[in-house]
Structure 1
Amino acid sequence: MKTKAVLELADIKTIAAAAEAEALKNNWAVTIAIVDDGGHLLWLQRLDGAPAISSLIGPAKAHTAAVGRRDSKVYEDIINGGRTAFLTVPGVSGLLEGGVPIVKDGNVIGAVGVSGVKSNEDAQIAKAGIAALGL
């Protein structure tokens, strides 16, 4: 049996604060979502001015990154590459760039999903949040 790391509230607050700082530094109004390794929502933060729909898209991106164990951009690239049947994957809806897994010791322990600006900027914010953990 293995022992695995899990996100604690302090970790979540660290990620959220760093992601928020990155968004504010760039004057980007976004929603930041953090999930556990099963894609279950642990944190949702919608910055002032963020589009209402971003509060649905951010958690979906995070869920996809957590359960898929890879950046959500991988799935966007698969679909854009012509494999549109991938859109029918059950239970996965955040198939856009901006969901990034949190990896510790080779294991995905959660993910961050961001929505509200360009997808590569969403991913930049997510990665800045994760980087604050120093993994």
Structure 2
Amino acid sequence: MTSIETVSLEDARRVIAAGEKQASENGQPSNIAVVDHGGNLVAHVRMDGAWIGSIDIAIDKAFTARAFDTSTWELGGNALPGEQFYGINVSNRGRVMTFAGGVPLYRDGAVVGGVGVSGGSGDQDQSVARAAAEAL
């Protein structure tokens, strides 16, 4: 039987803590979500003052990063009109996010989950997601 590497709750807490630190440094409260290898939610936080409307966006950014094993920022560039993945945002029952803030989580070179951040500008969300991912 082969085991699949994934993200534990302990991993998710460490990833989220690093994301919260970066969001605080940015001065922008955020929603931060972590999904496992199967794209299932492991943990989510909404920092004090973060937008309620960004909860689902953060979760779906994490899902997208894992579902396609790429950052949502990179996917977004390929989802523009005329590009190879134009329209992908309506796939998966509309869960696919094509703007910055979702990053795959890697362990030993393999994707084991994803982190999604929403609440600031694209640059802020991406910086929080990268800092969070580095904590894994």
Residue of structure 2 in register with 1:90 after alignment = 92
State which drifts further: 83-92 or 65-74. Answer: 83-92
Distance (Å, rounded) in 1 between the aligned partners of 2:31 and 2:18: 13
Runs of 4+ in 1 over 6 A off after TM superposition: none
| 1:80 CA drift (Å) | 2.5
Per-residue CA distance 1:64-121 (angstroms, 9 max, x = gap) = 0011111111221112253333333234422221100001122210110000111121
| 1:26 CA drift (Å) | 1.7
- Give the aligned residue type for 1:26: N
Residue of structure 2 in register with 1:25 after alignment = 25
Alignment match of 1:125 (pick from 116, 128, 134): 128
2:7–2:35 CA contact under 8 A, matched in 1: no
| 1:9 CA drift (Å) | 1.9
Alpha carbons of structure 1 residues 26 and 2: separation in structure 2 relative to 1, 3 Å: same
Distance (Å, rounded) in 1 between the aligned partners of 2:35 and 2:12: 9
Distance (Å, rounded) in 1 between the aligned partners of 2:89 and 2:120: 22
Q: Give secondary structure in 2 for the equivalent of 1:103.
A: strand
Distance (Å, rounded) in 2 between the aligned partners of 1:70 and 1:30: 21
Query: What is the root-mean-square deviation in Å for CA atoms of aligned residues?
Result: 1.7
* TM-score of the superposed pair, with normalisation by structure 1: 0.88
Q: Which runs of 5+ in 1 are unaligned?
A: none
| 1:6 CA drift (Å) | 2.1
Asked if residue 113 in structure 1 is aligned to residue 121 in structure 2, the reply is no
Distance (Å, rounded) in 1 between the aligned partners of 2:66 and 2:8: 16
Residue of structure 2 in register with 1:77 after alignment = 77
Per-residue CA distance 1:31-58 (angstroms, 9 max, x = gap) = 0000011111111101111111110110
- Paired-residue identity, %: 33
State which drifts further: 76-85 or 118-127. Answer: 76-85
Distance (Å, rounded) in 1 between the aligned partners of 2:89 and 2:23: 29
Residue of structure 1 in register with 2:5 after alignment = 5
Q: How is 1:95-106 mapped onto 2 (pairs within 5 angstroms)? A: 95-106=98-109
| 1:20 CA drift (Å) | 0.5
